[in-house]
Structure 1
Amino acid sequence: MTAPIETTGAEAEAQPEAVLVGVKKSQIEGRSLGQIAWMRFKRDKAAMAGGIVVALLILMAILSRPIQWLFDLDPNKLNQNLVDPTLRAPYGGWGGMSWDHPLGVDPGFGRDLLARIIEGSWVSLVVAVGATLLSVTIGVIMGVVAGYYGGWVDSLVSRMMDTFLAFPLLLFAISLSASVQDGFWGITGLPLRIGVLIFVIGFFNWPYMGRIVRAQTLSLREREFVEASRSLGARGPFIIFRELLPNLVAPILVYSTLLIPTNILFEAALSFLGVGIAPPQASWGGMLTEAADQYEVDLQFMFVPGLAIFITVLAFNLLGDGLRDALDPRSK
């Protein structure tokens, strides 16, 4: 009988087959950074809930018109027979809630609140996402250029950021929105108001993104992979687009998700002040303006659009916090 061959040291460690017997391939294959981030994100139940709500809101905004057509929901249809003409309050209490009007009707004209919430969702998201894309685009370009080149370029961009941050944005937004209500360059109505809101909110908010990107770029430009690109003869634009920007995707994505709810609140505030989306177009801020005059007779009219804004902002904030934890390799 032959004695077993004894292996010691490096020879013993060089025989992994005995250890891997019965182990499936999926259990030992490597995971990409995206897979690791997704696994960490899935463990965050609050972030997952926020992501689901955000996905449903985006789907509702995209399909708002088909939903209204399918369920015969007209946000501007007057149902005066549902409103008491003396008290100017819906019949039956609870805001006039019924099977035909699950969220009730407004006390002034009897319009269906569910239809107006659905109609207002796409307005709020279009303004918020459009303003976010504008501010992120400008902020990323200015921030990465200032952080990489430094010197007088950094000083010039930094002073521009300070100037924009000191600008009275709310007063400027009110005055600009009020001055172009009748038309501008042949554009009138809802497209003009949405365009003005996107420009005002997005153009004057880029320094917040610019500061974050500039700080990250100042750290990344001293890393080894950037020095290696320079040693191989790569110039500034190549390094910015091929080396720096791919490593800035995570903070840009996280801050963008946190910037969208801020822009939703800003649009609602401008509509509440009467210089945002003009009636009869439904918007969440405009519904709050109308509810401010009717809260004594129908508190639900204020509660419904306020709850819609609260859920939307909370969902985006939870999603942003979850993305930040998932994409940050130093977090536990």
Structure 2
Amino acid sequence: MTTPLDVTGSAAEAQPEAVLSGMGEAIQGRSLGQIAWMRFKRDKVAVAGGIVVICLMLLAVLSKPIEWVFNLDPNAFHQNLIDPILLRPKGALGGISWDHPLGVEPQFGRDLLARIVEGAWVSLAVAFGATILSVAIGTVMGVIAGYYGGWIDTVISRLMDIFLAFPLLLFAIALSASLQGGAFGLHGLTLHISVLIFVIGFFNWPYMGRIIRGQTLSLREREFIDAARSLGARGPYILFKEMLPNLVAPIIVYSTLLIPTNILFEAGLSFLGVGIQPPQASWGGMLSQAVGLYQADPEFMIVPGLAIFITVLAFNLLGDGLRDALDPRSN
């Protein structure tokens, strides 16, 4: 005869649900995006970099309304603020006043704040456009090379080597100089921005392509890829539906690190006189104009230099934070 069940125990022993009901809210699962966001928020330096990047993007997008609201004219001359003998801003502060918070440039007297605001959208437009172009080409070529392998991988890899060995600076100088008048129905500022985006973006895609190729070589041996093949999925479906979603993290991280590189390259071309042409303001162009005038007014070189420095630093800090937050091996 079996022993009857003991029904005299506590309610917690008889009903496990009672124990769970006293433990508060149920444990909720967190997605990979939520985990990455929690990691990113803990990195205060990266958050600060992200805030600066957002402010710079808003400044670039809203540069024209800002100029209109605050009556900023980047090409307005203020000769009354320039000493006619020394050809430098009057006063000891480089022309700084309530009307000109950052002062004015030597010789012409144009407002530095207005030119910094105007140059923000030019520099960031070139950097973002070139980054989008290089990321798009590099991602497609890297995924194809890493997934198919064989002779396709060999051809694309050798093509990357050719592009990496190409004298990009000399080509950019020659192309920009030869297209000063107009080409492809474009003229003036639109032509210069388009040429810079093409030159910087098209010849920098191998950097992204190599990273994506290495990631793809690892992903193609994973179980979910084998499962997709066993279900009859073909190459294009696996590339764009299975692999690309798993490559979003490295693409985002490297893009944030590629943008400051493109900003510096655009500034360098403008500094050499083959980028954005005056009177259009750009940060690199302002530095180029300040080379012969920094002794008269050092602030004319410091202001655009700080703008480039802060922008590049903010993007690099944001990229480092995103890399740590999206890395599944990080704590």
TM-score range (shorter-chain normalised) is: over 0.9
Instruction: In structure 2, give the amino acid aligned to 1:223.
Output: R
How many Å separate the matches in 1 of 2:323 and 2:189?
35
Instruction: In structure 1, give the amino acid aligned to 2:165.
Output: A
The alpha carbon displacement at 1:19 in A equals: 4.3
Residue 210 of structure 1 aligns with which residue?
Answer: 209
Residue 245 of structure 2 aligns with which residue?
Answer: 246
The alpha carbon displacement at 1:3 in A equals: 3.8
Residue 90 of structure 2 aligns with which residue?
Answer: 91
How many Å separate the matches in 2 of 1:55 and 1:3?
65
- Note the alpha carbon deviations across 1:282-310, whole angstroms, 9 max, x for none: 00000001111101110000000000000
Q: Secondary structure at the match of 1:96?
A: coil
How many Å separate the matches in 2 of 1:101 and 1:323?
37
Instruction: In structure 2, give the amino acid aligned to 1:157.
Output: I
Conserved in 1, the CA contact under 8 Å of 2:73 and 2:111? Answer: yes
How many Å separate the matches in 2 of 1:17 and 1:263?
61
The CA RMSD over aligned residues, in Å, is: 1.5
Residue 23 of structure 1 aligns with which residue?
Answer: 24
The alpha carbon displacement at 1:31 in A equals: 1.0
1:248-263 matches, within 5 Å, as: 248-263=247-262
Q: Secondary structure at the match of 1:84?
A: coil
Identity within the alignment, %:
72
- Note the alpha carbon deviations across 1:214-266, whole angstroms, 9 max, x for none: 00000000000000000111100000011100000000000000000000000
1:90-239 matches, within 5 Å, as: 90-239=89-238
The alpha carbon displacement at 1:32 in A equals: 1.0
Gapped regions of structure 2 (runs ≥ 5): 1-6
Instruction: In structure 2, give the amino acid aligned to 1:37.
Output: A
Rate the CA distance shift 1:152–1:91 in 2: closer, same or farther, 3 A.
Answer: same
- Note the alpha carbon deviations across 1:190-215, whole angstroms, 9 max, x for none: 00000000000000000000000000
Residue 4 of structure 1 aligns with which residue?
Answer: 9
How many Å separate the matches in 2 of 1:15 and 1:151?
59
How many Å separate the matches in 1 of 2:86 and 2:272?
26
How many Å separate the matches in 2 of 1:3 and 1:136?
69
Rate the CA distance shift 1:203–1:262 in 2: closer, same or farther, 3 A.
Answer: same
- Note the alpha carbon deviations across 1:175-199, whole angstroms, 9 max, x for none: 1111111111231100000000000
Gapped regions of structure 1 (runs ≥ 5): none
Instruction: In structure 2, give the amino acid aligned to 1:205.
Output: N
Conserved in 1, the CA contact under 8 Å of 2:53 and 2:315? Answer: yes
Instruction: In structure 1, give the amino acid aligned to 2:235.
Output: G
The alpha carbon displacement at 1:93 in A equals: 1.8
Rate the CA distance shift 1:321–1:6 in 2: closer, same or farther, 3 A.
Answer: same
How many Å separate the matches in 1 of 2:187 and 2:112?
27
Length-normalised TM-score, structure 1: 0.95
Conserved in 1, the CA contact under 8 Å of 2:95 and 2:103? Answer: yes
Number of residue equivalences = 325
Q: Secondary structure at the match of 1:75?
A: coil
Q: Secondary structure at the match of 1:90?
A: coil
